[in-house]
Amino acid sequence: MTEEKTEEKKQQQENTIKTDKDEISVTEIIEEETPAVEELPEEIRKKLEKSAAQKKETSGRKGKKKKKVNKKISVGIAYIKATYNNTIVSLTDANGNVLSWANAGLAGFKGPKKSTPYAAQIIARIAIEKAKEYGLTEVSALVKGVGPGRESAVRALNANGLIVTRIKDITPIPHNGCRPKKPRKI
């Protein structure tokens, strides 16, 4: 029993950050940044907690902080870029000013897992949680690329509380394109 208690205390100490005024737990930091972190899978949640702890440690800037003005934006645009190697989701206002973004590397995926539909679903959820601060409720989705995460990212937008009004494919298509290689001489 005592060994278990000492292990718990060690883990609590590792999960707290000492600042000038008081100690802040890593989970408090994560809850401030993304309210639905507990819904994410455990390994991804741990990676996000770790990166948030590192940000808090290095964010000791001196001087005046610029006051952040939160705009209330209800209608926006969701840009989804799905390539063979990665998926990037950017949520913007109607003018194209970015409110939040997420990609598979940010969520902790590495290598071939970055281009999976599951990764696209997770990063859409992360981007939506960041954009909820601005009051975003309705988006039109513009999808670019042919990667495996394109459909699941659009579905995740709808599943996580955003109303998708339209879906448009903006993948660039060549109108004859580059000159092809000459035929091989065999």
Overall domain count for the chain: 2
> Residue 184, CB half-sphere, CA atoms under 13 Å: how many?
1
Cα(124)–Cα(141) distance, integer angstroms: 12
* pTM score above 0.85: no
Q: Report yes or no on 135 lying in a domain.
A: yes
Cα(91)–Cα(118) distance, integer angstroms: 19
Structural domain boundaries enclosing 37? 8-58
pLDDT digit string (tens) for 129-173? 999 999 999 999 999 999 999 999 999 999 999 999 999 999 999
pLDDT at 19: 43
Same domain, 104 and 147: yes
β-bridge mates for residue 82, sequence order = 87
pLDDT at 21: 44
Q: Report yes or no on 122 lying in a domain.
A: yes
Beta strands in the chain (DSSP E): 16-18, 23-25, 75-82, 87-93, 98-103, 138-144, 163-169
The vertex-121 CA angle with 116 and 125, nearest 5°, equals 145
At 99, give phi and psi (nearest 5°).
-95, -45
Same domain, 42 and 107: no
Same domain, 80 and 145: yes
Same domain, 36 and 99: no
Cα(42)–Cα(40) distance, integer angstroms: 6
Cα(172)–Cα(104) distance, integer angstroms: 22
The vertex-100 CA angle with 97 and 103, nearest 5°, equals 120
pLDDT digit string (tens) for 93-115? 999 999 999 999 999 999 999 99
Q: Report yes or no on 68 lying in a domain.
A: no
pLDDT digit string (tens) for 112-133? 999 999 999 999 999 999 999 9
Q: Report yes or no on 23 lying in a domain.
A: yes
With 50 as the cut, is the pLDDT of residue 34 above it?
no
β-bridge mates for residue 24, sequence order = 17
Band (pLDDT 50/70/90 cuts) for residue 22 is very low
Same domain, 49 and 79: no
